[in-house]
Structure 1
Amino acid sequence: MSLIRNPRFTSLLNWVSQAIIKPRVSGNPRSFGTQRATLVDAELCGEKWGVRNRNEIRRMAQVAMFDYFYQTRGLQFLVAESMSKNAPVFNDNLLRKLDGCDVVDDDDDDEIVRSITRFLLFHPVNEFEPFLESLGLKPSEFSHLVPCDKMFLNEDAFLLENYHVFWNYGIGREKMGKIFKEAREVFGFETGVLASKIKAYEEDLGFSRLFLSKLIVCSPSILIGSMNVELAKVMEMLKAIGFGVDWVTENLSEELSYDWSCMHRCLSFLRDICVDENELNELIRKRPGLIFEDSGEWTLILAGFETKLGSSRSEHCSLFQKLPQSQSLRKCLMNLRHCFLFLQDIEMEADEISKIFRLHSSWLGVTRLKQTSTLLLNLKGGKRRLCQVIQENPEEMKKWIMGLRVQPLPATSCKVDSKSKKMKTQFLLDLGYKEKSEDMERAHKSFRGKGSELRERFNVLVSLGFTEEVVKDMVKACPSILTQASDIIESKVNYLVNELGYPLSTLVTFPTCLKYTLQRMKLRYEMFSWLQARGKADPKLALSTILVCSDKFFDTRFVNRHPDGPKHFEDLKKLLLCQ
């Protein structure tokens, strides 16, 4: 008899259809673990079957799944139980898959479970989906890991065998998902290979079972290839300066992944800048994040940044010692870089910038200055005045950080440079403003800078291929273009026109693009180009669409379009930071 014509099975599927909302189903019919089903409340389950809530519905589906995986498919008890209980997304979508069908005309839960099990017999599911979800992975994380040529777990000869090796070693199933995601080939090792690799670390390096189980979760890649030499070097160096396995265990996080090669470079660097091992021990004990935060990568980048500004090795050590323990090194570097760009924006001399960073990086790294344009507006002082104030007392910048109200600088006895004011007025007259008009007054405030500087920057734009009339319209529409140094304006136009291939007419219609930093342009367009090469971005998008949107919107619309997008975006940030 046809399954659909069976009155008992028909009534079962009818009951399930009453227990769930009917969403539109799309995608591969063999793969439905990537869509979240929304179950309705108990009152929608129908009077005939009594009042059943979501948990009851899910419980019966779990029982049916266990019966199918254990009794029918012959999977081991622990695996079948884990797949049925720890794959809620797959469970919900299994119920949604039954939408529109019927159920037995019976209020017996056991009969309902048996009927769902019978349904699974005629509609086999891709067993890799509930298996990977039961390991703690989200559908978005494992969708690309599901084999295209297999449906059943026993088709993968060594998957479950290596799963049990990890389980018997004390690694919980919810931690195996991270191992599978970062080192998938480990689950394909032939019989005995995985166990022998683990045993080698225990015997050759003397690692305890507790430490090694955590280490495998943190760094699954140590099981790939031969023994990780860099790991052995790091542990040897830490042991030599007084840090044992227990201390390392406390500071490792199973949520993160570690690059032992980078950590070894960081430790070697810290050893070079410290006077002796006692100082190194004290430094690392006080700030373990120096080697554990991104495997010490931000420590090396921060040191490189400070080195370019003229800091010595002893000054590096002093900086690391003064930084608060709770301060993220990545955030510290972002704050320092922001301050550096501010000092560049106000055209401070390179030697003066270097001097400030060498003496004051420890507190500049834990504070975030306001934007340059905001400070120039609120302080009511020009760039030269700000440079003078900072050089006399760099700690004045503590009053200009985010969250504080900035007070104007005290008035000076210096008279306004009448010649500069006349040049600025003449420049504005040339742009088309009428003398002594309200528009002229507003323009004097909008066009910040000396008259000679404004004229010079205007001429730079003309020299890049724009006509004078076009440049007049551009700067009227966005006066902040001329608040930038001439070389910065030129570099932005060259990047957009010569490297990205935008015509000059695009900048004419959207002159505001020139107010954004060159790094923002490079970061977003290199990310956009990366997505475009993978078919994840529309090549016809306007310049404004990419530049103007907020960082959060850019992450949502562009970065997260590809599974590897967030990692690539972070790599781009680090790369541009070092340039």
Structure 2
Amino acid sequence: MSLMRNPRLFARLFNWVSEVSVETLFKPQLPGNPRSFATRRRVDAEVFGEKWSSRPRNEIRKLAQVAMFDYFYNNRGLQFLIAESMSENAPVFNDNLLKKLNCDADGDDDLVRSITRFLWFHPVNEFEPFLESLGLNPSEFSHLIPCDKMFLNEDAFLLDNYHVFWNYGIVREKMGKIFKEAREVFGYGTGVLASKIKACEDLGFSKLFLSKLIVCSPSILIGNTHVELAKVMEMLRRMGFGFDWVSENLSEEASYDWSSMHRCLNYLRAMCVDEDELRELIRERPRLIFDNSGEWTLVLAGFQTKLGSSRSEVSSLLLKLPLIQELRKCVSNLRHCFLFLKDIKMEADEIGEVFRSHSSWLAVSRLKQTSTFLNTLKGGKKRLCQVIQENPEEMKKWTMGIRVQPLPGTEVYIDSKAMKTAFLLELGYKENSEEMEKALKSFRGRGSELRERFNFLASLGFNEKDVKDMVKASPDILTQASDVLETKVNYLVNELGYPLSTLVAFPTCLKYTLHRMKLRFAMFSWLRARGKVDAKLAVSTILVYSDKTFATRFVNRHPDGLKHFEDLKKQRIDTQECSSSLYRIDTQQCK
């Protein structure tokens, strides 16, 4: 009945039915991929229900749109254009409605009547299709839907302000951005929004320019933001930039803070020598004020200033930046480079010197991680600092996408490697063998230190043959300083009572920290005193397991074991406590 009362709607439905021929509805499917066909049928069945899954989805959606329009226009009394937009431009809402309808359908083949009848008894939240029709996704407007309203007519001013924007030439798809960024604008009372727009027009803006400006920056309609806008436009006008130039550089996808742009323009004016230089800078680099409303320009300039750059150096840097490079990426690259130089212990004045002279290419280059340099360049932090100070442009070879080559060996490095090689030959390694290469990678520091530490180990009571066997089994024990080795040997031998032969059999124990040793042996002695572990456990069994595995295999054997283990971790295990009779190991049992 409602269709007959609305001739235009009936005509639209009649024209659509005329376009869909019998051959189209019942045309057999061409042979194709049966898997994709089955997938499509499953999707249609999920969305439209089994009853309608055999019909073309466009046909079902068009029928649903007709029913939605009939409901919003005739039953809810919404204006024609709004009802038409909500029915045709809210596909997610329509599909969700069809899913619900599948559960409540009474088997009637008339889909339009089924949807209409469903909406009569199941009113929907009209803000959902309305906001979706404005170009917003459900994830964007879900938090914008009023909690105390379901119908658009309950919002006294929403549709009035909608029509103000529409009559001003702002299309429906762009109103969603305004609603998302300046929700309160749609709540203005009668005449308030029109007066706000009129106040902006009084600044000399044309209707075409102002309509784009409202979409790009809806905040100009809130409070006194248009005052900051007027200041920016006046500064640009004095430099010879008109509304057309501003409109070309505005993006409707972005949002603008005119107070930030005003600060950026003031900074650029103070930085430049004269108006001609400022005009040339803005003409060549309009992104300086339009990208993120000039915030990244201020961050970049502040970063360079803190590193000691003068105003002329900052101005030169801004002119050298590529036109296509985003300022955000430039700031990120410079920050990453600064952290790298700081990480390799370069002095502050030396870092400033690098940035003052080379920021233009550092801003468009992304360096690799510090760990990559140290592993691939085969040079320590001190060596890297020296290379960069001699020629900062060496860092161009260390950027992302370029294979990093090792640094050429210095005379000190070559001598140190020769001493390491000679030392390994004395231990019985074969020259140029795979075992020697692995041992060389394990040794860190100067080659002369290896012989010193070897001799020091021998002085602790080991004979030379035993020390050779220990080093061949675990070469990296010599990467530790002599005093560290002495502390660990004294703890294991003199305090816990292990014989030297135990360390010869298991030299890897010297790689573990003294704290780990004290923690494990304290826990082992606590468990041994309660009869939960074998007193003859080897040193390797006590030390090699991770904390998690050690707790699973041993600590959990006692109900209070885990709590005691955690307490030991928190407190400092004193050496004197671990050498008492409670913690002392029976050397005869542990041989």
State the TM-score bracket (shorter-chain normalisation): 0.5 to 0.7
Report the equivalent of 1:371. Answer: 369
Q: 2:66 aligns with which of 54, 63, 66?
A: 63
Name the Cα RMSD after superposition.
Answer: 3.6
> Are 1:345 and 2:343 matched, yes or no?
yes
For 1:59-458, what aligned pairs fall within 5 Å after superposition?
59-103=62-106, 105-106=108-109, 111-203=110-202, 205-226=203-224, 228-414=226-412, 415-416=415-416, 417-418=446-447, 435-441=470-476, 444=479
* CA deviations over 1:19-62 (Å, ceiling 9, x no partner): xxxxxxxxxxxxxxxxxx9533999755xx79411111111111
Taking the aligned partners of 2:134 and 2:228, their CA distance within structure 1 comes to 29
What residue identity is the alignment partner of 1:364? Answer: L
Deviation at residue 477 of structure 1 after TM alignment: 11
Report the equivalent of 2:515. Answer: 469
* CA deviations over 1:222-270 (Å, ceiling 9, x no partner): 1112352111111111111111111110111111111111111011111
What residue identity is the alignment partner of 2:59? Answer: E
- Counterparts in 2 of 1:262 and 1:433: CA distance versus 1, 3 Å: farther
In structure 1, runs of 5+ residues without a counterpart are 1-36, 456-466, 479-501, 509-579
8 A Cα contact 1:310 1:358, kept in partner: yes
* CA deviations over 1:384-409 (Å, ceiling 9, x no partner): 11111111111011011111111111
DSSP 3-state at the match of 1:397: helix
Deviation at residue 104 of structure 1 after TM alignment: 5.1
DSSP 3-state at the match of 2:45: coil
Deviation at residue 413 of structure 1 after TM alignment: 1.5
Taking the aligned partners of 2:389 and 2:514, their CA distance within structure 1 comes to 38
Taking the aligned partners of 2:67 and 2:77, their CA distance within structure 1 comes to 14
8 A Cα contact 1:259 1:295, kept in partner: yes
* CA deviations over 1:360-404 (Å, ceiling 9, x no partner): 000001101111111111111111111111111110110111111
* CA deviations over 1:502-526 (Å, ceiling 9, x no partner): 9995999xxxxxxxxxxxxxxxxxx
| Greater Cα radius of gyration, structure 1 or 2 | 2
Report the equivalent of 2:555. Answer: none
- Counterparts in 2 of 1:194 and 1:383: CA distance versus 1, 3 Å: same
8 A Cα contact 2:331 2:363, kept in partner: yes
Deviation at residue 425 of structure 1 after TM alignment: 7.9
What residue identity is the alignment partner of 1:131? Answer: F
What residue identity is the alignment partner of 1:469? Answer: H
Report the equivalent of 1:6. Answer: none
Taking the aligned partners of 1:454 and 1:287, their CA distance within structure 2 comes to 59
DSSP 3-state at the match of 1:236: helix
* CA deviations over 1:88-145 (Å, ceiling 9, x no partner): 1110011111122334544xxxx43123112211111110111011111111111111
8 A Cα contact 1:433 1:439, kept in partner: no
Deviation at residue 77 of structure 1 after TM alignment: 0.6
- Counterparts in 2 of 1:472 and 1:201: CA distance versus 1, 3 Å: farther
**Identical-residue share of aligned pairs (%):** 69
8 A Cα contact 1:61 1:91, kept in partner: yes
What residue identity is the alignment partner of 2:217? Answer: S
Taking the aligned partners of 2:316 and 2:229, their CA distance within structure 1 comes to 28
Taking the aligned partners of 1:168 and 1:133, their CA distance within structure 2 comes to 20
Structure with the larger RCO, 1 or 2 (CA within 8 Å, 6+ apart) = 1
8 A Cα contact 1:42 1:52, kept in partner: no
- Counterparts in 2 of 1:443 and 1:315: CA distance versus 1, 3 Å: farther
Taking the aligned partners of 2:88 and 2:477, their CA distance within structure 1 comes to 68
Deviation at residue 437 of structure 1 after TM alignment: 3.1
Taking the aligned partners of 1:348 and 1:427, their CA distance within structure 2 comes to 34
Taking the aligned partners of 1:276 and 1:351, their CA distance within structure 2 comes to 31
* CA deviations over 1:209-229 (Å, ceiling 9, x no partner): 111111111111111123521
Taking the aligned partners of 2:325 and 2:571, their CA distance within structure 1 comes to 41
Deviation at residue 424 of structure 1 after TM alignment: 8.3
- Counterparts in 2 of 1:422 and 1:289: CA distance versus 1, 3 Å: farther
Taking the aligned partners of 1:428 and 1:291, their CA distance within structure 2 comes to 67
> Are 1:40 and 2:38 matched, yes or no?
no
Deviation at residue 443 of structure 1 after TM alignment: 8.3
Deviation at residue 426 of structure 1 after TM alignment: 10
Q: TM-score, normalised by structure 1?
A: 0.67
- Counterparts in 2 of 1:407 and 1:199: CA distance versus 1, 3 Å: same
DSSP 3-state at the match of 2:254: coil
Deviation at residue 452 of structure 1 after TM alignment: 10
Query: What is the aligned length?
Result: 426
* CA deviations over 1:400-425 (Å, ceiling 9, x no partner): 11111111111212233456667888
- Counterparts in 2 of 1:43 and 1:125: CA distance versus 1, 3 Å: closer
In structure 2, runs of 5+ residues without a counterpart are 1-41, 417-445, 461-466, 486-512, 521-543, 547-565, 573-591
- Counterparts in 2 of 1:138 and 1:340: CA distance versus 1, 3 Å: same
8 A Cα contact 1:128 1:146, kept in partner: yes
Taking the aligned partners of 1:89 and 1:187, their CA distance within structure 2 comes to 24
